[in-house]
């Protein structure tokens, strides 16, 4: 009898705590967003993949970004984990806030060949590297600092800054979206002494 009361009380509290969440509607009418940006950032190197020239960095606000050092970065081999570096890189992003199709679910990471372009009036997307279309998940929403961190299908992270507080309120942790982006290609890289 005691066990039944404990289960009944636990079930009651679970129902009370989750029922307001179940009634919330998630805004699925968010318009796609697109932009090309030159970013200057300072961060601490957390991981290096020499074969692909990928570097994962942690910024001052805790944001994570994985970049690829372009061929113009001549001193790549001098960079080590825990180094603090300053770097410039380009990003192109197009976010579609919709459910992935069955084809996108089956192949969540695709290299595009001329299917998407940079916005009109912007530099060509080819200048920023390979175009990738991926099914990603929002892992972090930092509303005070106005950025979201998404995780891609290969475990890479991308921090996406925004200036629109109302837009940030429409997003939620665990939200899946389709992100078309040019891999961040570092055009300059230097150690901070």
**pLDDT tens for residues 13-71?**
333 333 333 333 444 578 899 988 887 889 999 999 999 888 899 988 888 888 888 77
Whether this prediction's pTM lies above 0.75 is answered by: no
Segment 74-128, tens digit of pLDDT? 888 889 999 999 888 777 889 999 999 999 999 999 988 644 444 455 443 334 5
Residues 37, 164: Cα–Cα separation, whole Å: 16
Which pLDDT score is estimated for 11? 31
Compute how many other C-beta atoms are within 10 angstroms of the C-beta atom of residue 9: 10
Q: What mean pLDDT comes out for the span 178-191?
A: 78
């Amino acid at each position: 009898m005691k066990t039944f009361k404990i289960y009944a009380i636990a079930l009651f509290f679970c129902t009370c705590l989750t029922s307001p969440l179940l009634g919330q509607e998630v805004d699925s009418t968010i318009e796609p967003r697109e932009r090309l940006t030159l970013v200057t950032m300072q961060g601490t190197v957390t991981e290096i993949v020499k074969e692909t020239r990928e570097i994962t960095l942690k910024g001052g606000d805790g944001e994570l970004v994985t970049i690829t050092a372009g061929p113009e970065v001549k001193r790549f081999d001098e960079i080590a984990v825990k180094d603090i570096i300053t770097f410039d890189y380009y990003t192109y992003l197009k976010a579609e806030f919709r459910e992935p199709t069955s084809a996108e679910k089956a192949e969540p990471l695709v290299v595009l060949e001329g299917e998407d372009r940079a916005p009109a009036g912007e530099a060509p997307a080819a200048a920023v590297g390979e175009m990738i279309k991926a099914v990603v998940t929002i892992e972090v929403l930092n509303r005070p600092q106005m950025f979201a961190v998404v995780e891609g299908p290969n475990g890479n992270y991308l921090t996406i800054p925004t200036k629109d507080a109302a837009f940030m309120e429409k997003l939620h942790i665990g939200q899946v979206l389709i992100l078309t982006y040019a891999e961040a290609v570092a055009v300059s890289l230097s150690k901070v002494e």
